[in-house]
């Protein structure tokens, strides 16, 4: 029997929380209707009221990921140019347990996204939007004399490369890549970019 409408919204939040928990622990490979039901302490039947199948479940997982990423706590940008660039990078890195869980789920989503044309396009567009933000910071930093002249898009792509790759290393080796070490590596990298200005 489908849940009553009044229960529906709060139940849907429970479902979303359970989906998130399954993803953080088992990744997309472990995301099944049964795993979500277990995480909720509910029956698989209840979960099927929300998702017809695996594809709908994955789509909902990606919606939650996008929403949580958009609304995640972020450091405020202290000043334009290089400080803003630094803040953008630190806001992506897994410096807290929550940020690590979110990055873990992003990494897990790549397997799915690389095989689905719509998700692939959405992901490509997402990275272009991030580079666009970084390009603005780079252009500001160049104008302010904080970075040497050069193609902002080139620098933005290099900064996003550094950031994504540090996420990967940090997720697979959190003991070696503590928040402090990630921050030091970021500051060292940005200082390198600034040399020669």
Contacts to a copy of itself by CB under 8 A: 25-30, 104, 107-115, 120, 123-124, 127-128, 150, 154, 157-158, 160-169, 171-173, 176-177, 184-185, 188-189, 192-193, 195-196
Q: How far apart are CA 144 and CA 146, in angstroms?
A: 5
Phi, psi at residue 3, to the nearest 5°? -65, 150
What is the CA 9 to chain-centroid distance, rounded? Answer: 25
CB of 9 to a copy of itself, least distance (A): 30
Whole-angstrom Cα distance, residue 129 to residue 148? 23
**Beta carbon of residue 61, minimum distance to a copy of itself (angstroms, whole number):** 12
What crossing angle do the helices spanning 179-194 and 152-172 adopt, rounded to 10°?
Answer: 160
Backbone angles phi, psi at 75, to 5 degrees: -70, 145
Closest distance to a copy of itself from the beta carbon of 147 (Å): 10
Measure the CA–CA gap between 37 and 172, rounded to whole angstroms.
Answer: 28
Cβ 45 to a copy of itself shortest distance, Å: 24
- The nearest distance, CB 11 to a copy of itself, in angstroms, is 27
Nearer of residues 133 and 158 to a copy of itself, judged by Cβ? 158
- Please spell the DSSP secondary structure of 27-66, one letter per residue: TGGG--HHHHHHHHTS-HHHHHTT-SSHHHHHHHHHHHHH
41 versus 188: smaller Cβ distance to a copy of itself: 188
Least distance (Å) from a copy of itself to the CB of residue 148?
A: 9
Give 48 or 158: the residue with its C-beta nearer to a copy of itself. 158
Of the pair 66, 172, the CB lying nearest a copy of itself is at 172
The answer to whether the CB of 150 falls within 8 A of the CB of 91 is no
Q: Looking at beta carbons only, is 18 or 167 nearer to a copy of itself?
A: 167
Output 29 or 45, the one with its CB closest to a copy of itself.
29
């Amino acid at each position: 029997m489908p849940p009553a409408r009044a229960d529906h919204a709060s139940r849907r939040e429970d479902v979303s929380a359970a989906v998130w928990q399954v993803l953080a622990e088992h990744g997309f490979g472990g995301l099944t209707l049964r795993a979500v039901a277990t995480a909720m302490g509910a029956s698989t039947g209840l979960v099927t009221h929300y998702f017809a199948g695996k594809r709908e479940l994955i789509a909902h997982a990606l919606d939650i990921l996008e929403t949580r990423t958009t609304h995640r706590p972020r450091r405020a940008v202290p000043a334009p140019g290089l400080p803003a660039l630094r803040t953008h990078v630190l806001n992506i890195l897994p410096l807290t347990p929550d940020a690590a869980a979110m990055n873990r789920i992003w990494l897990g989503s790549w397997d799915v996204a690389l095989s689905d044309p719509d998700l692939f396009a959405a992901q490509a567009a997402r990275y272009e939007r991030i580079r666009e933000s970084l390009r603005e910071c780079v252009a500001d930093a160049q104008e302010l004399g904080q970075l040497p002249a050069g193609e902002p898009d080139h620098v933005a792509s290099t900064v996003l490369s550094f950031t994504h790759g540090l996420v990967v290393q940090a997720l697979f080796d959190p003991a070696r890549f503590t928040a402090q070490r990630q921050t030091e590596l970021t500051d060292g990298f940005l200082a390198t970019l600034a040399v020669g200005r």
